[in-house]
Amino acid sequence: MPSRSARPRFLNLFQIRQPITALVSIIHRISGVLLFLSLPFAVGLLHLSLRSAGDYQRVLHWLALPGMKLLGLLLGWAILHHFFAGLRFLLLDLDLGLRLQTARATAWSVFAIVAVFFLLLAWRLA
């Protein structure tokens, strides 16, 4: 067996057209990491929102700032994708939708449903 470093490395992920199911999966990961990074700020906002009436107003004021709305949109998208892709993975774990054709269709559906709810969210935040 060749040593670890001698193994051929020729995979350029960006030159491979990923199947739709792979895209759902990797974006599920990316959105999960994004949400993880947001946790300290989310807990911080919850802390402030419950501390005093003044702090509560301050949180509302911050959340209404354009930059924060943009960030909210990004995290909202992350939650939506993580939620619906995660639901799909849970169903796959229950052996539902394992046929390739079905799996591709549900992967497309995840993107479609996320897009619809994202537009709804953007409309509500605007």
Partner 1 sequence: MTFRAQGMRAWLLQRFSAAYLALFVLAAVLWLATGGSADYSGWRALLGRPVVSVAFALFFLSLFFHAWVGIRDVLMDYVPNLKLRLLLLVAVALLLMGLAVWSALILISVYLS
x/- string (CB under 8 A) for partner 1, residues 14-33? Answer: ---------------x--xx
Cβ atoms of residues 97 and 91 within 8 Å: yes
Look up residue 99 and give its DSSP letter. S
Question: Where in 38-57 is the site for partner 1 (CB under 8 A)?
Answer: 39-40, 43, 46-47, 49-53, 56-57
Contact 35/79 with Cβ under 8 angstroms? yes
Q: Which is nearer to partner 1, 90 or 96 (CB)?
A: 90
From 15, 16, 67, 93, residue interacting with partner 1 (rule: CB under 8 A):
93
Tokens 């995290």, located at residue: 75
Tell me if 86 contacts partner 1 by CB under 8 A.
yes
